Chain A
Amino acid sequence: MLTTIRVNGVDRAADVDPRMSLLDFLRERLDLKGTKKGCDHGQCGACTVLVNGVRINACLSLAVMHEGDQVLTVEGLAGEEALHPVQHAFLVEDAFQCGYCTPGQICSAVGLLAEVAAGQPSEATVDLEGPVVLTDAEIRERMSGNICRCSAYPQILAAVRRAAGVAA
């Protein structure tokens, strides 16, 4: 099926089997290997990308479902001259060891910041009717869809805190 998806600001068309996941479309058809395949079942978060500004698991979506959508992957985050603030925060806080989960962690954190700005609650939100206060408990809960096998969680927490401009 001929499918056109706008990836990192550029329309990319390919003839795809309906079975192809968005993740495989990005990696195998577009050669964008930044988005990682971990579990391939929506459990690890390594494949997290932003679709129309919202973070999802690219492994649990078919490419054909995304005709005309705007997809942002880790390759599309940095500007011409500088890294994205979340990428920069991950570097400063040394928020990875092997790095395999890192693109998913970073895309997830970018989504998280937008969700918090929009006032969306999480399970850690104490007052459902109040504004969201980005405590460490909030960050941990909101990042719980991204697993880090090296267990760099304290540094990831610090990186998200830094990117959000929240004092430790």
Chain B
Amino acid sequence: MKPFAYERARDVDHALSLAAANPGARFLAGGTNLLDLMKLEIEQPSQVIDVGRLPLAEISETPSGGLRIGALATNTAVASDPRVRSRYPILARAILAGGSVQLRNKASVGGNLMQRTRCPYFMDSAKPCNKRLPGSGCSAMEGLAMTFALFGASEMCVAVSPSDMSVALAALDGLAETVRADGSVSRRPVETLHRLPGEAPQVDTDLAPDELILAVELPPPPEGGQAWRKVRARASYTGAIASVAVAGGQVALGAVAARPWRARAAEEALASGASPFEAAASELAHAAGEEGRKALVRRLAADVIREAREGMGS
């Protein structure tokens, strides 16, 4: 790990002013992704701003009947919250499908959103990777892995978002609320918080260096059933080959793009009376990549849409 200066933020303003003064700084919450990447020297911040003790862990009702989840609520706290379990079961299920209990006990909601890809070539600093070292090339294009983007990839990068949680948040129309050092507050859909790689895959999001996630806001759950499923190479504790979250007529796919992928074509097809399989097929018609993986995602999406309709739960 490269040397860095450590500062514990006294309050949000202190954290933001430190970040504004040093674009090479990183916010540290649970640390489960950032410290891992710092050990690998993939992340080399000159300064680490520890926001872990800021009072941003509350989960509260919103006036509109939704839920506001503080950015420092742990993954475990969110998945265990009775309101999340009863009204947003796909969010609890998606979180519980990620990592191990030890990781979820430490990992925060904001950190989960900001975690970087686990593309094996990004994680291996001996290999070229445009996301890690811009202009060095992409090893993944010709490489071996089950998890390249089916949607929104570029010639520069085919890496996918590893977050399970964000797939459920995208299906539920979650918004990420952020604040900058100048006091400006923004609300961005979780669905589009992450950029598609384009020509600059090294930039994961549009967040400014001095921008901190304060909370995720969920509107009231949509009418209809919810369902979640994650497909992976072993029974527990590994990343998704693909995942699907469905809330009423809203469908999001995971591990298929650099962001949680709202399946708008599938949603439109469902709204005009298509069957779950027809809807999934209409989404996958726009996908790039290997046929076997597309077929897997198509069947998975169709099955989870069907389950949401029949089960009214998850």
Contact = CB atoms under 8 A, between A and B. Distances in A.
Given A60-B35, A62-B35, A112 B6 contact: no
B36 A142 contact: no
B102 interface: yes
B39 interface: yes
B3 A141 contact: no
A111 B50 CA distance: 25
B101 A111 contact: yes
A55 B105 CA distance: 7
A102 interface: no
B260 interface: no
13 contacts: A41-B39, A42-B36, A45-B100, A57-B32, A60-B36, A64-B6, A64-B50, A65-B52, A111-B102, A120-B76, A120-B80, A122-B101, A129-B86
Given A18-B4, A18-B5, A141 B80 contact: no
Contact of A121 (B79, B99, B103, B105): B79
A65 B80 CA distance: 24
Contact of B93 (A19, A57, A115, A128): A128
Contacts of B130: none
B237 A128 contact: no
Given A60-B31, A128-B314, A145-B103, 11 more contacts: A42-B103, A56-B102, A57-B32, A62-B28, A64-B50, A65-B52, A115-B76, A118-B80, A121-B85, A144-B237, A145-B237
A143 B71 CA distance: 26
A118 B79 CA distance: 13
Contact of A142 (B28, B85, B86, B101): B101
Contact of B100 (A17, A62, A140, A145): A145
Interface in A36-74: 40-42, 45, 48, 54-57, 60-62, 64-65, 67
B3 A42 contact: no
Contacts of A42: 32, 36, 100, 102-103
A130 to B, nearest CB: 10
Nearest to A56: B106
B120 to A, nearest CB: 14
B102 A45 contact: yes
A87 interface: no
B54 to A, nearest CB: 13
B48 interface: yes
A136 to B, nearest CB: 13
Interface string B98-113: 0111110110000000
B31 A65 contact: yes
Contacts of A146: 100
B271 interface: no
Q: Which 8 A-B pairs have the closest CB atoms?
A: A145-B100, A18-B6, A144-B236, A123-B96, A128-B85, A120-B80, A144-B237, A19-B1
Contacts of B93: 123, 128
